[in-house]
Structure 1
Amino acid sequence: MYNVPADFINEQKVWDVLNAHKTADSYKIREILAKAAEMKGLDMEDVAALTNISDPVLLGELFDTANQVKETIYGKRLVLFAPLYISNLCSNECLYCAFRATNKDIVRNALTQEQIAKEVEVLINHGHKRILMVAGESYPNQGFQYVLDSIKTIYEVKSEHGEIRRVNVNIAPLSTEEFVELKKANIGTYQIFQETYHRETYKKVHLGGKKRDYNWRAWSLHRAMEAGIDDLGIGVLFGLFDYRFEILAMMQHIRELEKQFGVGPHTISVPRLEPATGSDLAAHPPFPVSDIDFRKIVAILRLAVPYTGIIMSTRETAKMRRETFALGVSQISAGSRTNPGGYEHEEDEDDPSGQFSLGDHRPLDEVIQDVAKMGYIPSFCTACYRLGRTGQDFMDLAKPGDIKLHCAPNGLSSFKEYLQNYATPETTEIGNRLIRETIAGMDGLAKQRAEKLVKRVEAGRDDVYC
């Protein structure tokens, strides 16, 4: 099955839909937005029409509808995590990436298990509870076992400030048998990006290594699902090709997963191409995405796949990240480093061995304070993973908006834990005020749960959730 073309990505159909919906009058756009507000998702034709919005009034209505859908499902919370790069070794030749095999402008490094433990301890002491473990698509002599050993190491690190409660991974596509082993390692989400769904562009920017095989990569989420990993993250590297094409092709991928396995991805990431050491292409994107189009991308994805978490990384500036919170973003990285060893050696902030340039260099506490001032709840919750609310179980709660009954209380209790254990005095004051105001505005079961969990944290208990 996985040695055949990934025919669920039908490029001709994408072009046909885009060409058929180059224009749409205001009546049609508002009709689509009304449909989106029902939170049942959109089809390709709807999405194609929304990508062509340029009228400021309609743009405002698009953004308002996205905010409405996001807050109905997830509320005013933002999940925080940190990427942990354990290696920048890579056998691929991707023209946009600093890790590409022939790039001589970076220092190669694969962290030992002892070094990984030190990185994790730094992250724990900052207050992080979620890690996205990332590696270049080549490993030291241990091969894939290096990945499994690294996950084990991350979970084993304990400090006076706690531990990492969930490890998500972004690594090279695996065989079904390897995915079974990854599942046994107790990961959260398996994340992988096709980078571009446009086959001709894919071939042009992937010149060597196993990643050159479009089909092997495109089928990877099928293999992961068959291996029992039902919590998946996908994405596109915007800037490699026309963003309109990429969104519709990604929609085809999502619908294929829903058709075959009953559930789509848990998260969608929306990275834009950013400068990377030794990459002229990264500095000069073939299809640059403007800020207004980038905001449209976030809003459209929120409406098209309403149940899915949207991830915004520190590639973007603090300003852009703020602007996307109200458009559908529900997860953000913070205090990030993209070079192996970057947390232990924070003084090397400008180390050129990172995978790409960062737009937001702020430390975690500063990000949290900024988020809280905006009225959003910074959440470190990992309850869904640990209680088995993944895959279909998560979708059954997310699609009607019932996930808020868990996410809101858990987000508040994990935020309170951060404030008591890690925050600066100013952040603590701002955060506690926000928690009080948020609980006061809640009602019913969600309020009861929030009050109960926060009181437990105030009494000295950590890691409480429902």
Structure 2
Amino acid sequence: MSTVNYYKEEFGEDYRTGVCDYITDEKIESILADAKKPDPKEVKRIIDKSLKLKGITPLEAATLLQVEDEALIDEFLEAARQIKEKIYGKRLVVFAPLYFANQCINNCAYCGFRKDNELVHRKKLTQAEIAKEVEAIEREGHKRLLVLTGEAPNTDLDYLIEGIETAYSVKTEHGGEIRRINVEIAPLSREDFKKLKAAKIGTYTCFQETYNRKQYQKLHHSGPKTNFEWRLSVMDRAQDAGIDDVGIGALFGLYDYKFDTIGMLLHAEYLDQKYGVGPHTVSVPRMNPAAGTPLEEIPYPVSDEDFRKLVAVLRLAVPYTGMILSTRESAEMRNELFEHGVSQVSAGSRTTPGGYDHKGDNKEDLAQFSLHDLRPIDEVITGIAKDGYIPSFCTACYRLGRTGKDFMDLAKPGKIQEFCRPNAMLTFKEYLEDYGTEISRKYGEECLTNLMADLKADNPKLAANIADKLAAIAQGEHDLYL
């Protein structure tokens, strides 16, 4: 069945309604045009509004995106830091991406997995190889996975679900286990999303890549991914199938960053209005080169200055969401953006199938794109703790049903950190006991001591409870959470 007919089967003949009419090129361009030449008084009003944790409109976000005055930019960068800490505190969620396969039937001009790329060595992990990858990941201390794969007939949903079951089943020494698996795969039908939901996934993520329809068509040459509307409407089908934690994203550099930022915010606004649940996460990768692709240059490069700006604006606009930054960025840029809105990071990443168990396989002829932060996870963890943040491997919300609207009811007013901070402390203590090195334990224990002092001042009863659990973890207990 063609993707167009598949789309009609899902939505009926009038299959362009809903989100596809809510987010249009004309609407985004109009918002950006209306926000040109921002008035400093209006900018300050928007910043003040954002600090109330209620978000800002796409038009207000467009106003901030077009600010060039460095003093005003510094003001909303600082506002983003305050908002992030009011919602999530100082915690940074840590996860590992796991690629099951790099086979793909799409021809995306920017992707190393593209069908016509003759330089890439194709690989699909067997279930035994998936188990080996997970063992290696667990022995680095990870508890959260993001599973990815190309779009191909022999990497279908049944294969993916079997791989997820395999990953959940793997147990290693020191209580090593994967406690939650999030998924980033091609769009599915409602019925297939119901099957994916039954596989006990956490968040389903799908990038629109660019929200500009004309540029999208230029960059997607063949394959099911050429259908812009099928991709844009994917979160409706996921929500309708019961997956209430969804993640959206754009690949910045494919088109003008202001346009795609507003596209993402309209998408978030649509989901919040229709389902009462905005995106659980937004991802902000910048395009990196990939071998064997026709794009010799990034079409719309995003400078470091503009990247800081868009991250901060997203945090002001959707304060409740988790913001994900991958190892595409340098260690220095990642460290800086922790202050301006980022709340989730990958660490020790491999973008090749088999790259964890056989680290030598993490090479260009297998990879989807190039990486810049190549530090091992313990070095990343140490740096996070040294900077006063707390690495978190927490999966409690998923496992206790704090998802969808229940999560948003806690996140939007800033109450979620009542769980985030203590659970981060507990999972970080586990990491230090089981996998930490001398240096990460040194800075990690200092971090926990400081956090415990803050917790005692804020909530002595909770602090006593967490102190008992930290002591139990030191004695070998695992998987303690609130």
TM over 0.5: yes
Q: Runs of 5+ in structure 1 lacking a partner?
A: none
1:372 alignment partner, SS class: helix
**1:389 maps to 2:438:** no
1:15 alignment partner, SS class: helix
Q: Residues 139 and 440 of structure 1: is their aligned pair in 2 closer, same or farther, counting only changes over 3 Å? A: farther
Match of 2:306 among 293, 296, 310: 293
Residues 354 and 361 in structure 2, CA contact (< 8 A), matched pair in contact too: no
Residue equivalent to 2:470: 454
**1:441 maps to 2:457:** no
Could you report, residue by residue, the CA deviation over 1:208-244 in whole angstroms, capped at 9, with x for unpaired residues? 0000000110111100000000011100000011111
Query: Partner amino acid for 1:4?
Result: R
Structure 1 residue 44, shift from structure 2 partner: 1.4
Residue equivalent to 1:191: 205
Structure 1 residue 351, shift from structure 2 partner: 3.6
TM-score, normalisation: structure 1: 0.98
Query: Partner amino acid for 1:181?
Result: K
Could you report, residue by residue, the CA deviation over 1:252-311 in whole angstroms, capped at 9, with x for unpaired residues? 111111121110110000010101111242x51111000010011110000000000000
The CA RMSD measured in Å over matched residues stands at 1.2
1-structure distance, mates of 2:140, 2:86 = 31
Structure 1 residue 348, shift from structure 2 partner: 3.3
2-structure distance, mates of 1:448, 1:405 = 14
Q: Runs of 5+ in structure 2 lacking a partner?
A: 1-10
Residue equivalent to 1:238: 252
Residues 196 and 240 in structure 1, CA contact (< 8 A), matched pair in contact too: yes
Query: Partner amino acid for 1:324?
Result: L
Q: How many aligned positions are there?
A: 464
2-structure distance, mates of 1:449, 1:200 = 56
TM-score, normalisation: structure 2: 0.94
1:192 alignment partner, SS class: strand
2-structure distance, mates of 1:252, 1:143 = 31
Residue equivalent to 1:221: 235
Residues 92 and 211 in structure 1, CA contact (< 8 A), matched pair in contact too: yes
1-structure distance, mates of 2:267, 2:369 = 26
User: After the TM superposition, which residues 112-151 of structure 1 pair with which residues of structure 2 at under 5 Å, given as runs?
Assistant: 112-140=126-154, 143-151=156-164
**1:342 maps to 2:358:** no
Structure 1 residue 179, shift from structure 2 partner: 0.1
2-structure distance, mates of 1:361, 1:13 = 40
1-structure distance, mates of 2:330, 2:347 = 11
Q: Residues 29 and 155 of structure 1: is their aligned pair in 2 closer, same or farther, counting only changes over 3 Å? A: same
Residue equivalent to 2:91: 77
Residue equivalent to 2:192: 178
User: After the TM superposition, which residues 408-423 of structure 1 pair with which residues of structure 2 at under 5 Å, given as runs?
Assistant: 408-423=421-436
Query: Partner amino acid for 2:444?
Result: G
Structure 1 residue 144, shift from structure 2 partner: 1.8
Query: Partner amino acid for 1:286?
Result: P
**1:317 maps to 2:330:** yes
Structure 1 residue 55, shift from structure 2 partner: 1.3
Residue equivalent to 2:171: 158
Structure 1 residue 446, shift from structure 2 partner: 4.9
2-structure distance, mates of 1:450, 1:406 = 11
Could you report, residue by residue, the CA deviation over 1:345-395 in whole angstroms, capped at 9, with x for unpaired residues? 112343431100001001000100011110100000000000000000000
Q: Residues 63 and 291 of structure 1: is their aligned pair in 2 closer, same or farther, counting only changes over 3 Å? A: same
Match of 2:34 among 20, 38, 59: 20
2-structure distance, mates of 1:436, 1:255 = 40
Residues 212 and 255 in structure 2, CA contact (< 8 A), matched pair in contact too: yes
Structure 1 residue 449, shift from structure 2 partner: 4.3
Match of 1:4 among 7, 16, 19: 16
